[in-house]
Each structure stands twice: as C-alpha cells, then as structure tokens.
Structure 1
Amino acid sequence: MKRVHVEVSGLVQGVFFRDSCRREAQSRQVSGWVRNTRGGTVEAEFEGEDAEVDALVAWCRSGPPHASVQRVDTSDVPTTGSTGFEIR
C-alpha cells in the first residue's frame, strides 16, 4: 500500500481530466482525490496497491484524449486509509 501526491502540468484543465482520472482510479480500486489548482495544474493524491497507484500515475502522463501533459511531479506521502475517490 502506498499514497502519492501528484501535480500534472500542461493543458489539463477544461479537458475532462478530473472526471477521467476519477473513473481510472475507481476502475483500479485506488482511493484519493483530484482537483484543479488556481495555477492551471491538476493536483491529486492516490492511495492503494503499489502497482495500481503506479498505473494511475502512468495514466496521468498522457491523461484523457484532449489533454496535453507537459510534466508530472510525484512525491510519496503517508497513507491515510482513505476509501473512495472524489473530485474536489
């Protein structure tokens, strides 16, 4: 089990990134949250089995079809035991 904080830069707002991310997370049984930032990035935290979290981070490197991801920054954070996935 692990939890990571992710910040995705590029054309990632207004392209259904958050909703697509939520669907991807739910399909992988990953919990956490995703939100837009005022700076134009998308920020998220993912918690779950290592391989599933890694797969979701890998998905963030391309995102949904209309996104143009330039950069994905990740950092490990302590697990919280969260359940479910929400768009904030």
Structure 2
Amino acid sequence: MSEKNHVDNHDFVVGDKKPGVDDYGKEYKYSPGDKVWLCVSGQREGPYKVELAEDGKYTLCDEYGISAKGGNAFDEGDLELHDPFN
C-alpha cells in the first residue's frame, strides 16, 4: 500500500456511525432494486423500487432512482412484492 493511501485515523466517521456493512445476522425480505407496493392505511401505492435496506427498514425510489416518499424508511410489513403478472 502506498503511503499516501494509508489511513491512520481510525476515528473517521461518516454521518453518525463508522462506515461499513450492516450486520450479517440481519436478513431482509427485499433487496435494493426489488419492485414493491407500499401498503399503509389500507392503501396500496406504487409500485416503487427498494432503494436501500438498512437497520431493518427500507427506503424507496421511483423507476429513475429518485428517492420516494421524502426518503422515509418503512417497515418490512408495510411492503408487498410487486408481481408483474398480476
């Protein structure tokens, strides 16, 4: 490794936490890119794409990758897999 690429600062923080991957123990029903319906208050909205799965919640985006619903995160129970054949 070259000297200029070496990082000695182990306290480097992005946002409120150190960069890294989510715990391997967490399993998500949906993955980024999956098409889902958002089902809240008895209404079915979308379909949207899963943008990010993090901390047990999902953020959604439209077909162009633009964050949907103000970037709010939703529980897995609020989502339903989109079936293109229905």
TM-score surpassing 0.5?
Answer: no
Bigger Rg over Cα? 2
TM-score by length of 1: 0.24
Q: Which has the higher helix share?
A: 1
Q: Which has the higher strand share?
A: 1
